[in-house]
Amino acid sequence: ASRPSPEPTRTTCGYCGVGCSLDVVTAGGKVTAVLPARDGPVNQGHACVKGRFAHGYLTSPERLTRPLLRRDGRLEPVGWDEALAQVARGLRAAVDAGGPDAVAAISSARATNEENYLVQKFMRVVIGTNNVDNCSRLCHSPSAAGLTASLGLPGGTDTFDDVEKADCLLVVGANPVEAHPVVGARLLGRVLHGAKLVVADPRAVGLALHADVHLRPRPGTNVALFHGLAHVLLAEGLADEEFLRERVVGLPELTELLADYPPQRVADITGVPAADLVAAARLYGRARRPAILYGLGVTEHLHGTDGVRSLTNLAILRGAVGTDRGYGVNPLRGQNNVQGASDMGALPDFLPGYGRVSDPAARSRAEAVWGVPVPGRPGLRIPAMFAAARAGDLRALWVIGEDVCATDPDANRVARALDACPLVVCNELFLSETARHADVVLPVASWLEKDGSFVNFDRRFQRVRPAVSPPGAARSDFDVVHAVAAVMGVDLGCATPADALAECGRVAPVFAGLSHDRLDRESAVPWPCPDPGRPGEATLYAKRFATPDGRAHLAATPYLPPGEQPDDDYPLVLVTGRRWAHYNSGSMTRRGGNLELDPVDFLDLHPDDATRYDVRDGAHVTVESRHGRACLIARVGEQTATGQVFCSFHFPTSGVNRLTSDHADTVTSCPEYKVTAVRVASS
Ligand code: SF4
């Protein structure tokens, strides 16, 4: 009989961006329990149903244990040598035929920081292209762009610990009770201890039940809503005039713009009653320490970056960022390491630490460490990679941990792009929707099987440690990238994950104070952290903003409508999002006990719409958009407003992302998942 291992393995949860510390108990090489760490820096003894129980996938018979190679149209098991040789040959052929920019890679939050660092180094050093992007393109790229433009850095402004001091919470476009349960519980705790709560979300999400004011804007009208709140702050003298005078630019332009957003006009655009808008603005405006937390309901829009910036305006107007008079503006990251994937430079326009590839000084820092020239032209973003593949310009695509055929919008077109690309390589745990379109599938380790670090939603680096070994011949993404480079005749250096983080610190001064040894000693260290002898900056901008002039920049961007509007043919608006027991495409959480907790996907719709479209609760329905069709089970209830329907993207077979459009944020190309015009009929 196998004996339990004497000490559990301390690691960081690989699901949402909260970054809970977990103690993993094993016996006989298998995980037997996952316990929330009592001394976890973020979770303090708590964890949710995903982190605690969704580890059955580790031993699923569907785990990939050998590389697969497509021959005569079928994927067949082969050895690593053959698979790696095929990848190397295919990448070389793509470069020979179309130059380095004919190759692209999509990295992800499934990969550790060190793996993301190595992937982007491989693309820049071995291939010679900036065609590398990650899954933040699809979720919080507008946060990075918006927060950088307004405040200077692409991360949240405060440590989550400080939310305990907030006396008013403005939670926008987020459902933390389900998507970030440990955060949701702490926010609820604040409310039970007297903090005011304003929820802005079209749906009656869990926190809305406890809200002092629940604003339910029509999907796609956030910018008008935020301008309406800002209008009231200025009109009622609730702005911090001294802060605005000393630390802010852009007030005259914003004031002029806000004249067009009085409460009644905003009510007409958003559907939010003017009185509710005024009440919410007063709660936020009169609080001693107001806090803003937001999610993908702000970013995943045609004007997502404008949404982030106009929301940030509120904190700037109140002097609630960069001071002790507020908890700033903080994005709730949906995925464990989506912050880290970007921090490590898996981006087409940024090197590790956010030096622009177009900036010669940033390039020469990287070149001094890597010993090769770095291309100065920004690479392709994920949607542009697919377009290039369909056009025949992209000849090789390496997808690392993303199930793009399940999670990217307009999935039918994504599949066509993969089919048009001469070489598609997938690093995967399972034969995912995307892997089914690949030419080579490489079996890799999951978060419970590998070594490295993640960055959570409040910029904290924490260690990831292997509790068990990967099955069969599966290897870490870190080893796989090294191995492909070696077959192509390049030694990427940084032999271990610890070496990779150390090297990243030499490329990116903002991470120079970090090391695995330090993370082992201190548990969690936030960035910026340029000095190994000093703490990282948990709270940003106390002295100056990180913009070139050191000031916060108000944004005067007008409200513009979403990419799609309901009409006679497609009268409902589909909003997609997450549910409590599952994570993203569900490939891990659907393989184990969590499937029993949440076994099927539903299309939520309001009773009035159920009557109008003759749909019964529990009936099979066909949902159609201008882009595709999906089949779901109707769930009738009042959580979803009339005129809207809601569905998760955890069950790819239901095909919800065949419905979503390719409308995308005009600044960052983040898809507009939150507004798709659809029609519904009983099947
Ligand atoms: Fe914590 Fe998020 Fe993991 Fe749940 S999914 S245990 S809230 S990190």
Which of 311, 332, 353 delimits the end of a domain? 332
* Structure confidence at residue 81 (pLDDT): 98
* Structure confidence at residue 596 (pLDDT): 84
Checking if the pLDDT of 4 tops 80, the result is no
Checking if the pLDDT of 631 tops 90, the result is yes
Which DSSP string do the residues of 261-286 spell out, in sequence order?
--HHHHHHHH---HHHHHHHHHHHHH
CA of 44 to the centre of ligand 1 (A): 12
* 199, 285: one domain: yes
* 324, 306: one domain: yes
Checking if the pLDDT of 5 tops 80, the result is no
Average confidence (pLDDT) over 408-434: 95
Average confidence (pLDDT) over 655-661: 90
* 18, 115: one domain: no
In this prediction, what percent of the chain has a pLDDT beyond 90?
92
Q: Which two tokens stand for residue 418?
A: 């993969």
Asked if the structure places residue 354 within a domain, the reply is: no
* 504, 418: one domain: yes
Residues 108-133: tens digit of each pLDDT: 999 999 999 999 999 999 999 999 99
- Identify the CA nearest to 173 among candidates 266, 293, 321: 293
CATH of the domain at 653: 2.40.40.20
To test the pocket of ligand 1, the residue of 18, 34, 594 to mutate (highest count of ligand atoms within 8 Å of its CB) is 18
Average confidence (pLDDT) over 488-499: 97
Angle at 448 between CA 446 and CA 454, to 5 degrees: 85
* 200, 52: one domain: no
* 104, 149: one domain: no
Asked if the structure places residue 166 within a domain, the reply is: yes
Checking if the pLDDT of 357 tops 90, the result is yes
Q: Which of 115-119, 120-124, 592-596, 613-617 has the lowest mean pLDDT?
A: 592-596
Index of the ligand 1 atom closest to the CA of residue 14: 3
* 147, 296: one domain: yes
Average confidence (pLDDT) over 403-414: 90
Average pLDDT taken over every residue of the chain: 95
Asked if the structure places residue 560 within a domain, the reply is: no
Which of 494, 526, 558 delimits the end of a domain? 526
Index of the ligand 1 atom closest to the CA of residue 456: 8
Index of the ligand 1 atom closest to the CA of residue 36: 6
* 88, 156: one domain: no
Index of the ligand 1 atom closest to the CA of residue 180: 7
Asked if the structure places residue 548 within a domain, the reply is: no
CA of 669 to the centre of ligand 1 (A): 27
Average confidence (pLDDT) over 403-416: 91
Burial class of residue 286, CB neighbours in 10 A (0-12, 13-18, 19+): middle
Which of 494, 509, 526 delimits the end of a domain? 526
Average confidence (pLDDT) over 278-294: 98
- CA distances 527 to 157, 195, 216, 302, 498, Å, are 11, 28, 35, 30, 17
As a whole number of angstroms, the distance between CA 93 and CA 86 comes to 10
Amino acid residing at 186: R
Average confidence (pLDDT) over 330-346: 94
Average confidence (pLDDT) over 325-343: 94
CATH of the domain at 248: 3.40.228.10
Asked if the structure places residue 448 within a domain, the reply is: yes
Confidence of residue 181 (pLDDT cuts 50, 70, 90): very high
Cβ neighbours for 370, distance < 8 A, ≥ 6 positions apart:
121, 124, 125, 507
CA of 35 to the centre of ligand 1 (A): 11
The domain total for the chain is 4
Residues in the chain, total: 683
* 251, 150: one domain: yes
* 261, 231: one domain: yes
* 24, 109: one domain: no
Confidence of residue 381 (pLDDT cuts 50, 70, 90): very high
Angle at 511 between CA 510 and CA 515, to 5 degrees: 160
Residue nearest atom 3 of ligand 1, based on CA coordinates: 51
Checking if the pLDDT of 54 tops 70, the result is yes
Asked if the structure places residue 344 within a domain, the reply is: no
CATH of the domain at 422: 3.40.50.740
To test the pocket of ligand 1, the residue of 21, 35, 43 to mutate (highest count of ligand atoms within 8 Å of its CB) is 43
Domain that holds residue 614: 572-682
Q: Are strands 460-464 and 524-526 parallel, antiparallel or unpaired?
A: antiparallel
Asked if the structure places residue 157 within a domain, the reply is: yes
* 20, 89: one domain: no
Residues 73-93: tens digit of each pLDDT: 999 999 999 999 999 999 999
Task: Count Cβ atoms below 10 Å from residue 262 Cβ, excluding itself.
Answer: 16
- Identify the CA nearest to 186 among candidates 204, 205, 200, 207: 207
Provide φ and ψ at 6, rounded to 5°.
-65, -35
Confidence of residue 6 (pLDDT cuts 50, 70, 90): low
CA of 180 to the centre of ligand 1 (A): 6
Ligand 1 neighbours, Cβ below 6 Å, are: 13, 15-16, 18-20, 43, 47-48, 50-51, 180-182
Whole-model pTM: value is 0.95
* Structure confidence at residue 387 (pLDDT): 97
CATH of the domain at 14: 2.20.25.90
Residue nearest atom 4 of ligand 1, based on CA coordinates: 48
Asked if the structure places residue 146 within a domain, the reply is: yes
Confidence of residue 2 (pLDDT cuts 50, 70, 90): very low
